[in-house]
Amino acid sequence: TDTAIDSGPTVASRATILGGNAVRIAAQTLAKLLDMAAADLLNCQVEQLLRQGERYIGPSEEPLAWELAVEHARQMGLTLSARGKWAAPAIEWDHHAGHGSPYFAYHFGAQIAEVAVDSLTGKVEVVKIWAAHDVGKVIFPEGALGQVYGGIAQGLGYALTEGVEYANGYIQNINFDEYIIPTAVDVPEIEAQLIEHPLSHGPFGAKNLAEPTMVPAAPAILNAIAHALGRRIRHLPANLERITLGKTLKKQG
C-alpha cells in the first residue's frame, strides 16, 4: 500500500490469493532473518537447522525457543520486518481460437435448498441449505465456514426479500423497514462442506471463497420454489405477490 495509491479493493474474491501470497513471501523473508539469528546463537550453519513449530533444533538436538531467536536477532542488529510482493499470473487467452487461461483462479461450488411454500399466502420458508465449495486449501476453518454461512445469508435476502424500488431515478426504499435483509433468525439450517483441491499458485494452495458462496443460493432457492409450485418465478425477489400472483403489484403514489 505504500507503493500504490489505489491498488483496488478486496473484491472478486481475490484477497486470499493476492494478499495471502504477499504475506507468505514477507513471512518467508522474515523467517530467513530468524534462521540467521538462531544459527548464530547455536553456533552452526543455517542449513543445519530444523524449524519445528515455534522452536529451532540445531546439530546438538537441543531446542531453541523462537522467542530467544527473536531476542538474539535484535541483539545482532537485524531489522525484524519484511515486505512481500506478489502479482497475479499473466492472462493468456486467444479470443479467436477460444482457448487459453482467461483467469488465474476459478471457484467451484454447489448448493441445494429445501423450501416449504404456502401457495395461498405466498410465504416461503427455507428449511435447509446444503453447500459444498472448493476452497483450494483451508487456511482458517472457522473463517471459511463463516464465509459460506454469510454468503448463503446474503443469497437468501437476494432470493426472497431484497428488491430496490426506483421512481424517477431515485431509490424509494432507503431504510431497512422497507428494504428487508435477513437477520440471524431468518437463516436456515446450513450443512456446509469444504472441499480441498490445492491451487498451484495459491498461498499454501488456498484460493478464493467469498462471493461464490452467495451466487448459488438464490438459484437453488428459486429452483426449489419452482419444484413446489410447478411454475418458475422469473424475477427477484420471490416475494409474496410473485408467489401468489406471479407478479408484483405496483404501489400507487
Which secondary-structure segment (H or E) carries 150? helix 141-160
For 83, 107, 135, 198, 211, the CA distances from 87, given in Å and listed in that order, are: 14, 19, 20, 19, 21
Q: Where are the beta strands (DSSP E) in the chain?
A: 50-52, 55-57, 63-65, 92-94, 99-101, 109-117, 124-134, 166-167, 170-171, 189-195
Quick check: is 211 catalytic? Answer: yes
- Helices vs. strands in the chain: H and E counts, helices first: 6, 10
Picking from 185, 197, 84, the residue whose alpha carbon sits closest to that of residue 133 is 197
What 8-state DSSP symbol labels residue 98?
T
What 8-state DSSP symbol labels residue 205?
G
Which cell numbers in the block locate residue 81? Answer: 520486518
DSSP per position, 181-201: ---GGG--EEEEEEEP---TT
- One of 71, 114, 196, 211 is an active-site residue; which one? 211
Q: How many Å is the Cα radius of gyration of the chain?
A: 26
Tell me which residues are annotated as active site. 211
